[in-house]
Amino acid sequence: MAARCEPLLVSIQRVAAADAVDGHLSWAVLLDRDRVAVPGPLHWLHDPAQRFEALLVSRRVSGRGVIERVAVQRADLIGVREHPGSAMAVLQLARAADHRSRYAGRFDPEVMHARLAEGADAWTVLEELGAVPSDVRTRPVAAALGPVVTWEQALRRELVRDRMWAIGDPHSNLCCWLGCGPCDPCPPDPWW
């Protein structure tokens, strides 16, 4: 699949949630194809029972959007120990996303370190440096993820297709469905 570009919505989601709105834990930004940055508060990261994943969604010109749910391999907390409110998380994804980011490498690490040492919030510094969009933390969950719920419901309905047939139906050729060849009658004898 070709890499999908921004505008991209990234939500960190509870794995067992009923839908994308209910599962939302935090907004995030794709830093690179296999890493996302998550602003604080990060209390949910410290709950060992909380299973989470990254939901990446982009919209097509028409129709439903492109949806990816990617497992998280590791979460690293970044910030200054003396300023716990400065923390943010960088989540390493279990695989590279089909989406790509426009924010990869868009900050000066020296400026970041200096601002964090002053007690600045890590996410705010990234906003100031243009490394993340400034509206991430204030996005309304239901308005932003509501369409995603509808798109995922449509994908789920399309997942199962009924191909049952009646005894004696001439369209019951299993080769079509089990992949042993084109939908022509199978040869009577093995080729060997």
pLDDT of residue 74: 97
pLDDT of residue 132: 80
- Domain residue limits at 108: 8-159
Higher-pLDDT residue of 175 and 148 is 148
Phi-psi region at 180: left, alpha or beta (left = phi > 0; alpha = psi -120 to 50): alpha
Indicate whether 52 belongs to any domain. Answer: yes
Asked if 56 contacts 68 with a C-beta cutoff of 8 angstroms, the reply is yes
Tens of pLDDT, residue by residue over 7-27, are: 788 999 999 999 999 999 999
Indicate whether 190 belongs to any domain. Answer: no
Indicate whether 183 belongs to any domain. Answer: no
Tens of pLDDT, residue by residue over 18-71, are: 999 999 999 998 988 999 999 888 999 999 999 999 999 987 766 677 899 999
Does the pLDDT of residue 177 top 90, yes or no? no
Does the pLDDT of residue 5 top 50, yes or no? no
Indicate whether 118 belongs to any domain. Answer: yes
Q: Exposure pattern of 139-164 as b/e (b: 16+ CB <10 Å)?
A: eeeeebbeebbebbeeeeeeeeeeee
CB count within 10 Å of CB 125 equals: 22
pLDDT of residue 23: 96
Does the pLDDT of residue 186 top 60, yes or no? no
Does the pLDDT of residue 148 top 80, yes or no? yes
DSSP sequence for 13-31: EETT-SSHHHHEEEEEEEE
Tally the domains of the chain.
1
Indicate whether 165 belongs to any domain. Answer: no
Indicate whether 164 belongs to any domain. Answer: no
Indicate whether 188 belongs to any domain. Answer: no
In angstroms, the Cα distances linking 148 to 12, 25, 37, 54, 158 are 14, 15, 21, 14, 15
- Average pLDDT of the residues in 112-127: 84
Could you tell me the pLDDT band of residue 127, with boundaries at 50, 70 and 90? confident
Three-class secondary structure of residue 117 per DSSP: helix
pTM summary value: 0.77
Indicate whether 175 belongs to any domain. Answer: no
Give the CATH number of the domain where residue 48 resides: 2.40.10.10
**Which ranges of the chain would DSSP assign to H, the alpha helix?**
20-23, 109-117, 122-128, 141-159, 174-178
Asked if 34 contacts 26 with a C-beta cutoff of 8 angstroms, the reply is no
pLDDT of residue 70: 97
Which percentage of the chain shows pLDDT scores above 70? 81
